[in-house]
A and B are shown apart, each in its own frame.
Chain A
């Protein structure tokens, strides 16, 4: 039974996922019994066997297309419906779903776009998709209590240098070559968007309550946030801010400003909790 069932299921899988439809899939099959698909699936005067399998083929593609559209609205805006449809067709051939949840459907789209011909007209498209994917992952990332300002103030000053600061386990740091934050923000706010400019930039994506936020890191905080991501001591973070700040700014004032920003954003967690880090 298992052998016959496996053959049947694999045949139907190939037919349902054939990129140009069940007809094309059948033409590529070499081991069908006499009578072809009609010997396996019942057809009738309303729908042939091929038309019935085509129902599943349409549902497969359009269900996953809808998921990708929902997860990548800015990428969709940039490419337009037709190109996005074609992109999804190629993507699902290269990266068919393998996980129980559709949450994982788009996890390779950015990688797929890095080698795609679409980059010719939208060279920033892979970075845009990477940012949108990070937002999905951060939304469902691990939980941890956020470090609040009053908690930090309650710790005596002499303990601060050795205090470990750690970023929220759901936080992601993206190293991008295109400044796609403004483009994404424009799409989200339903404003007219402009193509992203080239520029090496780090973007953090994090979650507070039920909302996901993102912004470009300032040069002064890039190494400090990376260090906090590894659970560095406060003294080291101070050194990094001092070293990387704009030379015209006072190091203490700069540290205070950035610390207030990190606490306000809710990107730090209690130093004693490890939490789990998201997969890169």
Chain B
């Protein structure tokens, strides 16, 4: 897998219910949308109608929360088939999920728990990712999570862990800049080290989001504006990684669409500034590629 294998999507926002009507009716100026896969694994209804309408005009990526790639449970084959079928219908640019476990023993915590950073965990997770990619018929991206616990048994840093998994599984990385900031605070590491160490060729997408400050820890709540320190980290990443698809997330206390669009444009501004300062540097080392909506195949509808 190479980063250049993926389309260049530009600057997008998460597709969320309060904005459905506005997006379907006005087709706002945004490069792309990310959807939460599980919200569309339904039999029918309004959500799928909206996604059909959005997909007519915009590229999308599918981002999951329940793959539980780090679980000791067997992979959920039914879930993977549903995910694959959803992808066949809506042709996302890519599919992503989190480097975490969400449940065990057939039960789901509906949360993203971290793994110990060990060689054994690398091999366990990488093997599962390879099987998932076979089922999905495409490479996937794994996202770094915000975490509140770290394990005594860990033998490496988180960035070494995710980098090794991505190499062994030959998958991409969705680098969540806010999650790096949150985890760096919670576990007292230097967020810059994370940005500086992840392999450039594996990073296909960023997330940007807000969090809440609880004094002794930061909580990844996606319900606040992006903090200035996170924007600074994003700029550092933009300097290192060049052109990478950027997605603004906001999942609670969701503001007007214009607020998210503005954040997305701020990200574009930072990227443009960095590009001008350092000269054009595209994902494959040549001239920056023009972004555009990948054409839908005629068979994308169910």
Contacts and interface: CB of A to CB of B under 8 A. Distances in A.
A6 B115 CA distance: 11
A70 to B, nearest CB: 11
A9 interface: yes
Interface string B172-198: 000000000000000110000000000
27 contacts: A1-B123, A5-B115, A5-B116, A8-B151, A9-B72, A13-B105, A41-B151, A41-B152, A42-B152, A44-B188, A47-B216, A55-B219, A56-B109, A56-B113, A56-B148, A98-B107, A100-B108, A101-B38, A101-B41, A103-B42, A105-B110, A139-B45, A140-B45, A141-B44, A142-B44, A210-B45, A278-B43
Most buried by B among A13, A42, A101, A140: A101
Given A1-B123, A96-B107, 8 more contacts: A2-B124, A10-B104, A40-B152, A42-B150, A42-B152, A42-B187, A59-B111, A209-B46
B110 A60 contact: yes
Contacts of A56: 109, 111, 113, 148-149
A185 to B, nearest CB: 21
Contact of A40 (B47, B108, B115, B151): B151
B108 A99 contact: yes
A13 B148 contact: no
B66 interface: yes
A143 B45 CA distance: 6
Interface string B143-183: 00000111111000000000000000000000000000000
Interface in B89-110: 101, 103-110
Contacts of B246: none
A97 interface: yes
Nearest to A2: B72
B264 interface: no
Contacts of A59: 111, 219
A49 interface: yes
B108 A143 contact: no
A63 B45 CA distance: 24
A141 B43 contact: yes
Contacts of A210: 45-46, 49
B39 interface: yes
Contacts of B103: 13, 97
A103 to B, nearest CB: 7
B47 A60 contact: no
Most buried by A among B45, B103, B118, B151: B45
A1 B121 contact: yes
Given A41-B151, A42-B150, A101 B39 contact: yes
A156 B101 CA distance: 60
Contacts of B106: 98
Nearest to B71: A9
Interface string B109-144: 111010110101101100000000000000000000
A69 interface: no
A116 B151 CA distance: 40
Contact of A102 (B71, B110, B124, B151): B110
Contacts of B188: 44
Interface in A207-233: 207, 209-210
List the 9 closest A-B pairs by CB distance, nearest first. A1-B120, A100-B66, A6-B72, A143-B44, A140-B42, A210-B46, A9-B104, A101-B38, A142-B43
B193 to A, nearest CB: 18
Contacts of B46: 139, 209-210
A42 B66 CA distance: 26
Given A5-B72, A97-B108, A100-B66, A46 B43 contact: no
Interface string A45-69: 0110100110110011001100000
A55 B41 contact: no
Nearest to A13: B104
Contacts of A203: none
Contacts of A142: 43-44
Given A101-B39, A139-B45, A47 B152 contact: no
A96 B115 CA distance: 22
A103 B71 CA distance: 21
Interface in A1-50: 1-2, 4-6, 8-10, 12-13, 16-17, 38-42, 44, 46-47, 49
B5 to A, nearest CB: 27
